[in-house]
Amino acid sequence: MLTSLQNPLVKQLRKLHRARERREQQLFLLEGTHLLEEACAVNYPLATLCCTLEWQASHEQLWQQVSQTAQRIELVSPEVLKAIATTVEPDGVIVTAPRKPEQHQLPEIASLGLVLETIQDPGNLGTMIRAAAAAGAEGLWLSANSVDLDHPKVLRASAGQWFRLPMAVSTDLQTVIADYQAQGMQVVATLPDAALTYWEADLRQPTLILLGNEGAGLSPEIAALSDQQVKIPLYPGVESLNVAIAAALMLYEAQRQRGFNPEARSS
């Protein structure tokens, strides 16, 4: 059992709190039982598993499953686990996993998707991933100057849907958007001063929804590429709406107009 915070592996894993180290090591952290279960459900590759004796004893089936797939297994003391974790009270298990390769190819989006520009808050990004998966979106594009897709808080906020939603990062969202338009998708931008409210737009056709930075919104260059611009109306005195809530409203309005039927899609 690893009990020393000076152990080389412990030092290595603690470095994964930082984006630069995740890029250099090509690893990221999965914290907690739920994320581990979601990773196993889609057979995501696992590198090193660290868990306490208590966790091992209370999750025997999951332990056996991971023992057959992870490259390395280590029992650690609660103090070591807490040092590795980014959360205040880890639930007994942390796993490292290989980063997804830089994805520049187009995700398979033919009906409904998101394009996110300069998103900075990892909780917002994770929530949008979760909302997109829940609403049946087919994929998500993220600008390269946004928070890392595999930031620990993004993983947690996605509630495991990070493993199920196709996602890609691009240094050139303008080209990404133009490619989808060439395939016949309409592009709808969310802007506070748009003439149309979001429920007045026709979202029944294949649609790509553009959402921007938490403070500044969409850049003029990206907004100008849209075929339609819509707003989410607010009562007087309310300055803005959280971008993750805006994403959920847009996605579910599109599906409402289409007669949302998750059962039909899953079958």
Does the residue 54 lie in any domain? yes
With respect to residue 151, please indicate whether it lies within any of the assigned structural domains.
yes
Residue 33 structural domain: 8-98
Answer whether residue 87 is part of any domain. yes
Same domain, 137 and 81: no
Residues 94 and 116 in one domain: no
> Does 264 have pLDDT greater than 80?
no
Query: For the chain, how many structural domains are there in total?
Result: 2
Distances from the Cα of 127 to the Cα of 132, 173, 185, 194, 228, angstroms: 8, 21, 24, 25, 25
Do 84 and 172 belong together in one domain?
A: no
b vs e for 227-237, b when ≥16 Cβ sit within 10 Å of the residue's Cβ?
ebbbbbeeeee
Would you say residue 254 lies in a domain? yes
> 250: helix, coil or strand?
helix
CB-based contacts of 2, cutoff 8 Å, min separation 6 = 9, 10, 50, 74, 75, 76, 77, 80
For residue 106, being part of any structural domain is answered with: no
Residues 139 and 233 both lie in one domain = yes
Residues 62 and 178 in one domain: no
Per-position DSSP letters for 10-45, written without gaps between them: HHHHHGGGSHHHHHHHTEEEEESHHHHHHHHHTT--
Residues 126, 82 share a domain? no
Q: What is the pLDDT of residue 90?
A: 92
Tokens of 175: 């080209």
Q: Domain holding 241: CATH number?
A: 3.40.1280.10
Q: DSSP characters for 153-201?
A: HHHHHTTTGGGTS-EEEES-HHHHHHHHHHTT-EEEEE-TT-SEETTTS
Report pLDDT digits (tens) over 61-94.
999 999 999 999 999 999 999 999 999 999 999 9
Which pLDDT score, from 0 to 100, does residue 8 have? 96
Is 171 in the same domain as 232?
yes
- Please determine, for residue 12, whether its predicted confidence score (pLDDT) is greater than 50: yes
Greater pLDDT, 261 or 37: 37
H-helix or E-strand spanning residue 211:
strand 207-211
**Contact at 8 Å (CB) between 218 and 211?**
yes
Contact 107, 139 (CB under 8 A): yes
Asked whether residue 220 is domain-assigned, the answer is: yes
pLDDT at residue 51 is higher than 60: yes
Q: What is the pLDDT of residues 101-137, one digit of tens each?
A: 765 567 889 999 999 999 999 999 999 999 999 999 9
Question: Which of the four pLDDT bands, split at 50, 70 and 90, describes residue 267?
Answer: very low
